[in-house]
Chains A and B, each alone.
Chain A
Amino acid sequence: MASSESSSSSAQSLTFYGFLDKMRNPASVDLVRSIKSFIVSFSFYSPYPENDGKRVQEFFSIFEVAIMDHQLWENSSMEEIDCSMEGLEKYVMTKLFSRTFASSPEDVKIDQEISEKIHLLQTFLRPDHLDIRPFLRNESSWLLAEKELQKINSFKAPREKLLCIMSCCKVINNLLLNASISEDHALGGADDFLPVLIYITIKANPPHLHSNLRYIQLYRRQSKLMSEAAYYFTNLVSAKSFIVDLTAESLSIDASEFEENMQAASLTNKGATVEPSLVLNPTLEEQKDVGPATALDEAEDGFGTSYPYMDAEPGELTVADVERLLSLYKDVVTKYTNLRRAP
């Protein structure tokens, strides 16, 4: 985080609350109206991802221009404008989530196919099939990276989804750097990075991988999907693409051994076809589906999207929530443990 902008008066304006606060100000009544009518306008058309993405990006640009000239943002720094834009992205995309995420049947189908293929691969894939160098095999780092990636479905805002990818990649990067320092190996760069990311993606099997990537690509503010963020995003796109096209030739494995393993795995999987990814998402949506009619004033609390169970009563929970609760619980424990370890 930039330390340059540390005046306490601006601290508020740099959060999502800050954005909501500005929206509550009578002076922003026009802006609020434009946001609401934009969100409502989505219910007039059936989903068409490419077009929807363009419309959202256009709306973001128009809004940015509007607030630059707006009295409420007078004397605002670029950083404050940027934070308001992040607030807008989060607000709009949370409202439009169920309408825009995995909205086409093809996307849902691709998600399912990838998830099933990964499920098969998980049963036999080993790091040496991807020639991952032995000194990079670090179970605890890998587990942490997997967890970061799996969190992608705990969020609705494109920025937060992208941050999950960044955190996952950051864990891998730290592993690569530390290994090269302590083991005195040359830093392998992407030659080392990509295979580890692919392996972790397979281990993590994050539900809706394809749809998450598409969603970020279409709805993350374009000026933010650049540079380093774009690089790591591209790496996950590339990992996904590798997995989709993966055959025996993509791996250091005997072709017949590969086929046998894939077949054996699909036989074992047939009995138990509970697809966790199909259970997860509807649960999340039901919990947080805020219709377009909801006033902007109804502030989403800080944990809202990340920890949807904070306000839940025991009676409301169903068996379907168990898996998600457990994964959130593990996240919290992992975070807590890491925080405690920090110097």
Chain B
Amino acid sequence: MGCSSSLPGRSSGRLGGLNSSESGGVPDAKNLRVKLVLLGDSGVGKSCIVLRFVRGQFDPTSKVTVGASFLSQTIALQDSTTVKFEIWDTAGQERYAALAPLYYRGAAVAVIVYDITNPDSFNKAQYWVKELQKHGSADIVMALVGNKADLHEKREVPAQDGLEYAEKQGMFFIETSAKTADNINQLFEEIGKRLPRPSSSSS
């Protein structure tokens, strides 16, 4: 299923984190906390991308919450801003499509994932983009992600198609491989850079 190499290690058995401690303090211009919703067909590797992102950060000071479907991770950007991503995974099966608004309501970021070996999943991604344009918050940051980029020989969606579509919609586009970790950090760093900063900035 594509992310076998990013299975959680034994250490994630500690998973204590359901008693969500909000002790990170009040978010400010330098310490952003954002809700990020993941959308995309089932099987495109949404959770693998996140798992790779969360486990790939080796900053021992960062507090990582590992759940099967909710994860949070903090990154530091070059301008010394930190961004805590609270990542909401959604069930990608068709029968749950009508429930998506419950999840993307109030999200600052939407990451829409498809599988480059599966054209249907690319169509589904475009469906989500339209839905978010209609019903998501107006200033939502959207990223289109073509995952499983390591499977060159099985590719059915050319990178050019993804790029062109994303440009037309004014979104950020990237191809990733959760398996090799290619572009995973870049994805989240780029999102971090594109986040609107609170106007009450002290700078």
Q: Which A residues lie within 8 Å of B103 (CB)?
A: 234, 238
Indicate whether A46 reaches chain B with its CB closer than 8 angstroms: no
Indicate whether A118 reaches chain B with its CB closer than 8 angstroms: no
What mask results when residues 75 to 105 of chain B are scored 1 for a CB within 8 Å of chain A, else 0? Answer: 0000000000010111111011011001100
Indicate whether A173 reaches chain B with its CB closer than 8 angstroms: yes
Indicate whether B1 reaches chain A with its CB closer than 8 angstroms: yes
Residue of B nearest to A241 (CB): B99
Indicate whether A195 reaches chain B with its CB closer than 8 angstroms: yes
Question: How close is A144's CB to chain B, nearest CB, in angstroms?
Answer: 14
B67 touches A228 (CB 8 A): yes
Chain B residues within 8 Å of chain A by Cβ, number = 45
B89 touches A189 (CB 8 A): yes
Indicate whether A237 reaches chain B with its CB closer than 8 angstroms: yes
Q: Which A residues lie within 8 Å of B21 (CB)?
A: 2
One of B8-16, B126-134, B151-159, B168-176 contacting the partner: B8-16
Indicate whether A121 reaches chain B with its CB closer than 8 angstroms: no
Distance, CA A228 to CA B89, complexed state (A)? 11
Question: How close is A45's CB to chain B, nearest CB, in angstroms?
Answer: 29
Distance, CA A173 to CA B4, complexed state (A)? 18
Distance, CA A319 to CA B63, complexed state (A)? 50
Question: How close is B99's CB to chain A, nearest CB, in angstroms?
Answer: 4
A227 touches B68 (CB 8 A): no
B3 touches A186 (CB 8 A): yes
Distance, CA A201 to CA B13, complexed state (A)? 25
Indicate whether A16 reaches chain B with its CB closer than 8 angstroms: no
B7 touches A181 (CB 8 A): yes
A241 touches B102 (CB 8 A): yes
Distance, CA A186 to CA B66, complexed state (A)? 15
A184 touches B99 (CB 8 A): no
A242 touches B99 (CB 8 A): yes
Q: Which A residues lie within 8 Å of B42 (CB)?
A: 188, 191
Question: How close is B151's CB to chain A, nearest CB, in angstroms?
Answer: 15
B3 touches A223 (CB 8 A): no
Indicate whether B17 reaches chain A with its CB closer than 8 angstroms: yes
Q: Which A residues lie within 8 Å of B38 (CB)?
A: 190
Q: Which B residues lie within 8 Å of A191 (CB)?
A: 42-43, 46-47, 91-93
Indicate whether B202 reaches chain A with its CB closer than 8 angstroms: no
Q: Which B residues lie within 8 Å of A166 (CB)?
A: 18-19
Indicate whether B70 reaches chain A with its CB closer than 8 angstroms: yes
Question: How close is A233's CB to chain B, nearest CB, in angstroms?
Answer: 10
With A1-B19, A177-B8 as contacts: A189 and B68 at CB distance below 8 Å: yes
A193 touches B68 (CB 8 A): yes
B7 touches A228 (CB 8 A): no
Q: Is the interface of A mostly helix, strand, loop or mixed?
A: helix
A227 touches B22 (CB 8 A): yes
Indicate whether A231 reaches chain B with its CB closer than 8 angstroms: yes
Q: Which B residues lie within 8 Å of A173 (CB)?
A: 15, 18, 67-69
Distance, CA A245 to CA B96, complexed state (A)? 11
Indicate whether A174 reaches chain B with its CB closer than 8 angstroms: yes
With A2-B21, A229-B20, A238-B102 as contacts: A184 and B93 at CB distance below 8 Å: no
Indicate whether B50 reaches chain A with its CB closer than 8 angstroms: yes
Question: How close is A158's CB to chain B, nearest CB, in angstroms?
Answer: 15
Question: How close is A339's CB to chain B, nearest CB, in angstroms?
Answer: 17
B68 touches A228 (CB 8 A): no
Distance, CA A149 to CA B18, complexed state (A)? 15
Distance, CA A194 to CA B95, complexed state (A)? 11
Distance, CA A131 to CA B43, complexed state (A)? 13
Residue of A nearest to B3 (CB): A186
With A177-B68, A186-B2, A187-B47 as contacts: A228 and B99 at CB distance below 8 Å: no
Q: Which B residues lie within 8 Å of A187 (CB)?
A: 3, 7-8, 47-48, 51, 68
Q: Which A residues lie within 8 Å of B199 (CB)?
A: none
Q: Which B residues lie within 8 Å of A250 (CB)?
A: 95
18 CB contacts below 8 A, A to B, read A1-B19, A2-B23, A78-B23, A173-B15, A176-B68, A177-B66, A186-B47, A189-B89, A190-B69, A190-B91, A191-B46, A191-B47, A191-B91, A227-B72, A227-B86, A228-B20, A231-B69, A238-B103
Shortest beta-carbon contacts, A-B, top 5: A189-B47, A186-B1, A190-B89, A228-B20, A194-B91
> A interface vs B, CB < 8 Å?
1-2, 78-79, 131, 166-167, 169-170, 172-174, 176-178, 180-181, 184-195, 223-224, 226-229, 231-232, 234-235, 237-238, 241-242, 245, 249-251
Beyond A78-B23, A191-B91, A228-B65, list 14 extra A-B contacts (CB 8 Å): A177-B8, A177-B66, A184-B7, A187-B8, A187-B48, A190-B92, A193-B68, A194-B91, A195-B93, A224-B22, A228-B72, A228-B86, A238-B102, A241-B102
